[in-house]
Structure 1
Protein backbone atom coordinates (compact mmCIF):
# COMPACT_ATOMS: atom_id res chain seq x y z
CA UNK A 1 0.00 0.00 0.00
CA UNK A 2 1.35 3.38 -0.95
CA UNK A 3 1.20 5.97 1.79
CA UNK A 4 -1.52 7.15 4.06
CA UNK A 5 -4.18 7.36 1.32
CA UNK A 6 -3.65 3.68 0.53
CA UNK A 7 -4.05 2.77 4.19
CA UNK A 8 -7.25 4.82 4.46
CA UNK A 9 -8.61 3.37 1.21
CA UNK A 10 -7.89 -0.25 2.15
CA UNK A 11 -9.34 0.25 5.64
CA UNK A 12 -12.50 1.73 4.12
CA UNK A 13 -12.90 -1.21 1.73
CA UNK A 14 -12.34 -3.72 4.53
CA UNK A 15 -14.82 -2.04 6.88
CA UNK A 16 -17.56 -1.39 4.32
CA UNK A 17 -17.45 -4.85 2.75
CA UNK A 18 -17.10 -6.59 6.13
CA UNK A 19 -20.06 -4.77 7.66
CA UNK A 20 -22.14 -5.15 4.49
CA UNK A 21 -21.53 -8.89 4.45
CA UNK A 22 -22.29 -9.22 8.16
CA UNK A 23 -25.30 -6.96 8.46
CA UNK A 24 -26.76 -7.25 4.97
CA UNK A 25 -26.37 -10.99 4.44
CA UNK A 26 -25.31 -12.85 7.60
CA UNK A 27 -27.61 -11.20 10.13
CA UNK A 28 -30.80 -11.66 8.07
CA UNK A 29 -29.99 -15.36 7.65
CA UNK A 30 -29.28 -15.88 11.36
CA UNK A 31 -32.39 -14.02 12.48
CA UNK A 32 -34.66 -15.12 9.64
CA UNK A 33 -35.98 -18.31 8.15
CA UNK A 34 -33.03 -20.68 8.59
CA UNK A 35 -35.13 -23.67 7.55
CA UNK A 36 -35.87 -22.02 4.20
CA UNK A 37 -32.19 -21.21 3.69
CA UNK A 38 -31.32 -24.81 4.58
CA UNK A 39 -33.72 -26.02 1.87
CA UNK A 40 -31.72 -24.03 -0.68
CA UNK A 41 -28.51 -25.53 0.68
CA UNK A 42 -30.00 -29.01 0.37
CA UNK A 43 -30.84 -28.33 -3.30
CA UNK A 44 -27.13 -27.70 -3.87
CA UNK A 45 -26.47 -31.25 -2.69
CA UNK A 46 -24.83 -30.52 0.65
CA UNK A 47 -25.22 -33.17 3.35
CA UNK A 48 -26.59 -31.94 6.68
CA UNK A 49 -28.07 -28.82 5.05
CA UNK A 50 -29.07 -27.17 8.32
CA UNK A 51 -25.50 -27.46 9.63
CA UNK A 52 -24.08 -26.04 6.40
CA UNK A 53 -26.71 -23.28 6.36
CA UNK A 54 -25.71 -22.22 9.86
CA UNK A 55 -22.02 -22.42 8.93
CA UNK A 56 -22.60 -20.18 5.90
CA UNK A 57 -24.72 -17.67 7.84
CA UNK A 58 -22.21 -17.47 10.69
CA UNK A 59 -19.27 -17.15 8.30
CA UNK A 60 -21.03 -14.15 6.75
CA UNK A 61 -22.07 -12.61 10.07
CA UNK A 62 -19.06 -13.28 12.28
CA UNK A 63 -16.55 -13.40 9.43
CA UNK A 64 -17.80 -10.08 8.10
CA UNK A 65 -17.56 -8.47 11.52
CA UNK A 66 -14.05 -9.83 12.04
CA UNK A 67 -12.93 -8.57 8.63
CA UNK A 68 -14.45 -5.15 9.38
CA UNK A 69 -12.52 -4.74 12.63
CA UNK A 70 -9.46 -6.53 11.30
CA UNK A 71 -9.27 -9.33 13.88
CA UNK A 72 -8.32 -12.86 12.79
CA UNK A 73 -8.72 -11.21 9.43
CA UNK A 74 -7.15 -13.73 7.08
CA UNK A 75 -8.92 -16.80 8.55
CA UNK A 76 -12.24 -14.92 8.63
CA UNK A 77 -11.82 -13.76 5.03
CA UNK A 78 -10.87 -17.30 3.96
CA UNK A 79 -14.10 -18.70 5.41
CA UNK A 80 -16.05 -15.83 3.85
CA UNK A 81 -14.42 -16.42 0.46
CA UNK A 82 -15.30 -20.11 0.59
CA UNK A 83 -18.93 -19.32 1.47
CA UNK A 84 -19.08 -16.76 -1.35
CA UNK A 85 -17.58 -19.24 -3.82
CA UNK A 86 -20.54 -21.49 -3.02
CA UNK A 87 -22.88 -18.51 -3.50
CA UNK A 88 -21.24 -17.85 -6.88
CA UNK A 89 -21.82 -21.47 -7.84
CA UNK A 90 -25.45 -21.24 -6.74
CA UNK A 91 -26.01 -18.05 -8.74
CA UNK A 92 -24.06 -19.19 -11.84
CA UNK A 93 -27.28 -19.57 -13.85
CA UNK A 94 -28.81 -16.29 -12.66
CA UNK A 95 -28.51 -12.98 -14.50
CA UNK A 96 -25.22 -11.19 -13.90
CA UNK A 97 -26.91 -8.55 -11.74
CA UNK A 98 -27.94 -11.29 -9.30
CA UNK A 99 -24.55 -12.96 -9.07
CA UNK A 100 -22.65 -9.65 -9.06
CA UNK A 101 -22.94 -9.17 -5.27
CA UNK A 102 -21.45 -12.59 -4.58
CA UNK A 103 -18.66 -11.87 -7.07
CA UNK A 104 -17.83 -8.51 -5.46
CA UNK A 105 -17.82 -9.91 -1.93
CA UNK A 106 -15.78 -12.93 -3.05
CA UNK A 107 -13.21 -10.69 -4.75
CA UNK A 108 -12.78 -8.47 -1.70
CA UNK A 109 -12.49 -11.45 0.67
CA UNK A 110 -9.79 -12.99 -1.55
CA UNK A 111 -8.01 -9.62 -1.65
CA UNK A 112 -8.14 -9.46 2.16
CA UNK A 113 -6.64 -12.95 2.38
CA UNK A 114 -3.83 -11.91 0.03
CA UNK A 115 -3.15 -8.39 1.32
CA UNK A 116 -4.03 -8.78 4.99
CA UNK A 117 -5.92 -6.30 7.11
CA UNK A 118 -3.49 -3.40 6.90
CA UNK A 119 -2.01 -1.29 9.68
CA UNK A 120 -5.36 0.08 10.90
CA UNK A 121 -6.70 -3.20 12.27
CA UNK A 122 -6.91 -5.05 15.55
CA UNK A 123 -4.53 -7.68 14.14
CA UNK A 124 -1.89 -4.98 13.63
CA UNK A 125 -2.52 -3.60 17.11
CA UNK A 126 -2.06 -7.08 18.63
CA UNK A 127 1.15 -7.63 16.63
CA UNK A 128 2.56 -4.30 17.85
CA UNK A 129 2.02 -5.35 21.48
CA UNK A 130 3.79 -8.70 21.09
Structure 2
Protein backbone atom coordinates (compact mmCIF):
# COMPACT_ATOMS: atom_id res chain seq x y z
CA UNK A 1 0.00 0.00 0.00
CA UNK A 2 1.43 3.37 -0.95
CA UNK A 3 1.96 6.14 1.54
CA UNK A 4 -0.57 8.41 -0.16
CA UNK A 5 -3.31 5.75 -0.21
CA UNK A 6 -2.59 4.90 3.44
CA UNK A 7 -2.90 8.62 4.27
CA UNK A 8 -6.14 8.86 2.33
CA UNK A 9 -7.54 5.82 4.12
CA UNK A 10 -6.55 7.21 7.53
CA UNK A 11 -8.10 10.58 6.67
CA UNK A 12 -11.27 8.81 5.57
CA UNK A 13 -11.43 6.76 8.79
CA UNK A 14 -10.88 9.83 10.97
CA UNK A 15 -13.03 12.41 9.25
CA UNK A 16 -15.51 10.83 6.83
CA UNK A 17 -18.90 9.93 8.20
CA UNK A 18 -20.58 7.17 6.20
CA UNK A 19 -24.23 8.02 5.57
CA UNK A 20 -25.34 4.66 6.92
CA UNK A 21 -23.78 5.49 10.31
CA UNK A 22 -24.61 9.19 10.54
CA UNK A 23 -28.31 8.39 10.15
CA UNK A 24 -28.18 7.01 13.70
CA UNK A 25 -27.10 10.32 15.28
CA UNK A 26 -30.62 11.78 15.71
CA UNK A 27 -31.80 8.54 17.32
CA UNK A 28 -29.02 8.70 19.90
CA UNK A 29 -29.82 12.36 20.65
CA UNK A 30 -33.55 11.61 20.91
CA UNK A 31 -33.05 8.71 23.32
CA UNK A 32 -30.75 10.68 25.63
CA UNK A 33 -32.65 13.98 25.55
CA UNK A 34 -36.15 12.54 25.61
CA UNK A 35 -35.23 9.89 28.16
CA UNK A 36 -33.58 12.52 30.37
CA UNK A 37 -36.63 14.77 30.24
CA UNK A 38 -38.94 11.86 31.06
CA UNK A 39 -36.72 10.87 34.00
CA UNK A 40 -36.91 14.40 35.42
CA UNK A 41 -40.69 14.47 34.97
CA UNK A 42 -41.21 11.06 36.58
CA UNK A 43 -38.96 12.04 39.50
CA UNK A 44 -41.11 15.12 40.15
CA UNK A 45 -44.28 13.05 39.81
CA UNK A 46 -43.08 10.32 42.18
CA UNK A 47 -41.93 12.81 44.82
CA UNK A 48 -45.25 14.60 44.47
CA UNK A 49 -45.81 17.69 42.35
CA UNK A 50 -46.72 19.49 45.58
CA UNK A 51 -43.08 19.28 46.66
CA UNK A 52 -41.97 20.77 43.34
CA UNK A 53 -44.69 23.44 43.65
CA UNK A 54 -43.12 24.44 46.99
CA UNK A 55 -39.78 24.94 45.27
CA UNK A 56 -41.42 26.97 42.52
CA UNK A 57 -43.19 29.13 45.10
CA UNK A 58 -39.91 29.73 46.93
CA UNK A 59 -38.28 31.09 43.77
CA UNK A 60 -41.27 33.29 42.97
CA UNK A 61 -42.89 31.41 40.08
CA UNK A 62 -46.53 32.49 39.75
CA UNK A 63 -49.26 29.83 40.17
CA UNK A 64 -46.73 27.28 41.47
CA UNK A 65 -49.20 24.36 41.71
CA UNK A 66 -50.29 24.80 38.09
CA UNK A 67 -46.73 25.33 36.91
CA UNK A 68 -45.54 22.22 38.76
CA UNK A 69 -48.09 20.03 37.00
CA UNK A 70 -47.44 21.77 33.68
CA UNK A 71 -43.69 21.19 34.03
CA UNK A 72 -44.23 17.50 34.85
CA UNK A 73 -46.49 17.14 31.79
CA UNK A 74 -44.02 18.93 29.52
CA UNK A 75 -41.13 16.80 30.75
CA UNK A 76 -42.95 13.47 30.44
CA UNK A 77 -44.99 14.08 27.29
CA UNK A 78 -42.38 16.22 25.57
CA UNK A 79 -39.69 13.71 26.45
CA UNK A 80 -41.80 10.89 25.02
CA UNK A 81 -42.42 12.87 21.83
CA UNK A 82 -38.68 13.38 21.45
CA UNK A 83 -37.90 9.69 22.11
CA UNK A 84 -40.26 8.54 19.35
CA UNK A 85 -39.40 11.51 17.15
CA UNK A 86 -42.96 12.84 16.91
CA UNK A 87 -43.62 16.54 16.33
CA UNK A 88 -40.07 17.32 17.47
CA UNK A 89 -40.18 20.99 16.47
CA UNK A 90 -43.51 21.57 18.22
CA UNK A 91 -42.56 19.55 21.33
CA UNK A 92 -39.26 21.42 21.61
CA UNK A 93 -40.88 24.81 22.25
CA UNK A 94 -42.25 24.16 25.77
CA UNK A 95 -39.20 22.03 26.58
CA UNK A 96 -36.90 24.94 25.71
CA UNK A 97 -39.03 27.24 27.87
CA UNK A 98 -38.68 24.84 30.83
CA UNK A 99 -34.91 24.71 30.32
CA UNK A 100 -34.59 28.50 30.09
CA UNK A 101 -36.66 29.00 33.24
CA UNK A 102 -34.53 26.42 35.09
CA UNK A 103 -31.35 28.04 33.82
CA UNK A 104 -32.20 31.59 34.81
CA UNK A 105 -34.12 30.96 38.05
CA UNK A 106 -32.19 28.05 39.56
CA UNK A 107 -28.86 27.16 37.96
CA UNK A 108 -27.32 30.47 36.80
CA UNK A 109 -26.24 31.64 40.27
CA UNK A 110 -24.19 28.44 40.69
CA UNK A 111 -22.03 29.03 37.61
CA UNK A 112 -21.39 26.85 34.61
CA UNK A 113 -20.26 23.48 35.98
CA UNK A 114 -22.82 20.85 36.84
CA UNK A 115 -20.34 18.89 38.93
CA UNK A 116 -19.20 20.61 42.09
CA UNK A 117 -17.41 18.12 44.29
CA UNK A 118 -17.59 19.54 47.78
CA UNK A 119 -16.10 16.68 49.80
CA UNK A 120 -15.62 12.96 50.12
CA UNK A 121 -16.53 11.40 53.46
CA UNK A 122 -16.42 7.69 54.17
CA UNK A 123 -15.92 7.02 50.47
CA UNK A 124 -19.06 8.95 49.50
CA UNK A 125 -18.81 12.01 47.26
CA UNK A 126 -20.88 15.04 48.24
CA UNK A 127 -21.76 17.59 45.58
CA UNK A 128 -22.92 21.20 45.62
CA UNK A 129 -25.68 22.81 43.61
CA UNK A 130 -25.39 22.19 39.85
CA UNK A 131 -24.76 25.02 37.43
CA UNK A 132 -26.31 25.53 34.01
CA UNK A 133 -24.03 23.19 32.04
CA UNK A 134 -26.60 20.40 31.64
CA UNK A 135 -29.30 22.90 30.69
CA UNK A 136 -27.06 24.11 27.85
CA UNK A 137 -26.34 20.56 26.73
CA UNK A 138 -30.06 19.76 26.60
CA UNK A 139 -30.72 23.02 24.72
CA UNK A 140 -27.98 22.26 22.20
CA UNK A 141 -29.32 18.75 21.62
CA UNK A 142 -32.88 19.97 21.14
CA UNK A 143 -31.76 22.70 18.73
CA UNK A 144 -29.73 20.10 16.78
CA UNK A 145 -32.83 17.90 16.46
CA UNK A 146 -34.95 20.84 15.32
CA UNK A 147 -32.36 21.96 12.75
CA UNK A 148 -31.37 18.52 11.39
CA UNK A 149 -34.61 16.65 11.96
CA UNK A 150 -35.58 13.65 14.03
CA UNK A 151 -33.99 11.20 11.59
CA UNK A 152 -35.32 8.32 9.51
CA UNK A 153 -36.22 6.16 12.53
CA UNK A 154 -38.84 8.55 13.86
CA UNK A 155 -42.51 9.35 13.53
CA UNK A 156 -41.56 12.64 11.85
CA UNK A 157 -39.30 10.76 9.42
CA UNK A 158 -42.11 8.36 8.56
CA UNK A 159 -44.51 11.25 7.88
CA UNK A 160 -41.88 12.92 5.70
CA UNK A 161 -41.39 9.71 3.66
CA UNK A 162 -45.16 9.39 3.19
CA UNK A 163 -45.41 13.00 2.03
CA UNK A 164 -42.53 12.49 -0.41
CA UNK A 165 -44.19 9.33 -1.74
CA UNK A 166 -47.51 11.12 -2.24
CA UNK A 167 -45.93 13.74 -4.54
TM-score by length of 1: 0.87
**Are 1:109 and 2:142 counterparts?**
yes
The answer for unaligned runs of 5 or more in structure 1 is none
Cα distance in 2, alignment partners of residues 117 and 17 from structure 1: 12
**Residue-by-residue CA offset, 1:72-97 (whole Å, 9 max, x unaligned):** 11111221111111111121112521
The answer for unaligned runs of 5 or more in structure 2 is 1-16, 115-129
TM-score by length of 2: 0.69
Ranges of 4+ aligned residues in structure 1 off by more than 6 Å: none
Cα RMSD (Å) of the superposition? 1.9
Please identify which structure carries the higher strand content.
Answer: 2
Residue in structure 2 matched with residue 118 of structure 1 by the alignment:
151
Residue 140 of structure 2 aligns to a residue whose secondary structure is helix
Q: Which structure would you say has the larger Rg?
A: 2
Higher RCO, Cα 8 Å, sep 6+: 1
**Deviation, structure 1 residue 103:** 2.1
**Are 1:43 and 2:61 counterparts?**
no
Aligned residues, how many? Answer: 129
Residue 36 of structure 2 aligns to a residue whose secondary structure is helix
